[in-house]
Structure 1
Amino acid sequence: MKIRVGQGYDVHRQGEGEELWLGGIQFDHTHGLIGHSDADVLIHAICDAILGAANMRDIGYHFADTDPQYKGIDSKILLADVMKIVRDAGWELGNVDCTIVAERPKINPHIPNMKECLAKVMNVDVEDISLKATTSEKMGFVGREEGMAVHAVALITKA
């Protein structure tokens, strides 16, 4: 059995009046994330981790932010496509472990809903998805609430 690990990282700027999507769940918050798609920074980092583990480049390679067909797209669609790409190549997800870095809103109360949503999209067990949240202690662009960041690690296997 082959085992591989991939790392993903993504950031998005925050903007007043924008929608905030994290892990496929819409948050009620005054500031959302800005991007070509729905700017779901968590899903984007997960996609990069899985694609990286499979040695299949990154989310921008597969879904270019210059391509109008992805303008405003629901990132859950991109994640489902990533899962199909890696499964078609014979890989299966072992687990993902993610850290969401944001000052506000509070993420922890939403983690169970995000895990359920991601598990459905990825067709995996909820326990295969680990989500954690932290702040940057008011330092840097996250601390100033100019954006959010996510670090993700994925383990994949091939029989």
Structure 2
Amino acid sequence: MIPRIGTGVDVHAFAAPESGREMWLAGLLWPEEVGLEGHSDADVVCHAICDALLSAAKLGDLGSNFGTSRPEWAGASGEALLVETIKRVQAAGFQIGNVSVQLIGNRPKVGPRREEATANLERIVGAPVSFSATTTDGLGFTGKNEGLAAIANALLIGS
């Protein structure tokens, strides 16, 4: 069994408040927040995990698997994309060892829902997940409240 590590990054801009977009992060609805723009639900946490898993398995990236050229994935939930990614990774002969993902942005405040988000991600992924969040101290687009980013690392075990 050969361990393989992948890294994934995802970034989305906040939608206009009048857009009615819902905020989905870590597969959970955050009803007090305005959502993010995207082809799907723009769940940057789930998307970054997908990219990390696909990278480790040498299966491309989120765009090549579920991008805007694939209309059947328009409006898909981050959870649905993550479930399909896991199926593809397992079909390629890999098991997930663990995942670490960090949300980057000023809002929403993750602390009050960190345990819930972690448990939800572990339920979806079927392996240990570490979920954290940070800010950029007012720097860049996340610091100016223009959007959110997430970065993830995944460990796969397989041939």
TM-score normalised by the chain length of structure 2 = 0.93
Q: Which shifted more, 51-60 or 115-124?
A: 115-124
The match for 1:77 is 80
Which amino acid in structure 1 is aligned with residue 140 of structure 2? Answer: G
Question: Does 2:11 align with 1:8?
Answer: no
SS in structure 1 at match of 2:14: strand
Query: 1:42 aligned to 2:56?
Result: no
* Aligned pairs, number: 156
The corresponding residue for 2:61 is 58
4+ aligned runs moved over 4 Å, structure 1: none
Unaligned runs of 5+ in 2: none
Report percent identity of matched pairs.
40
Residues 22-74 of structure 1 deviation map (CA, whole Å, 9 limit, x = unaligned)? 00001023421110100000000000001100111101111122322111111
Q: Deviations over 1:119-142 (max 9, x none)?
A: 222223xxx100111111111100
* Cα pair distance change 1:30/1:121, threshold 3 Å: closer
Mean alpha-carbon deviation: is it higher for 3-12 or for 71-80? 71-80
In 2, distance between residues paired with 1:68 and 1:56? 20
Q: Which runs of 5+ in 1 are unaligned?
A: none
Shift of 1:88: 1.1
Q: TM-score, normalised by structure 1?
A: 0.93
Write the distance in 1 (CA, Å) between the matches of 2:97 and 2:139: 34
CA distance in 1, matches of 2:59, 2:135: 31
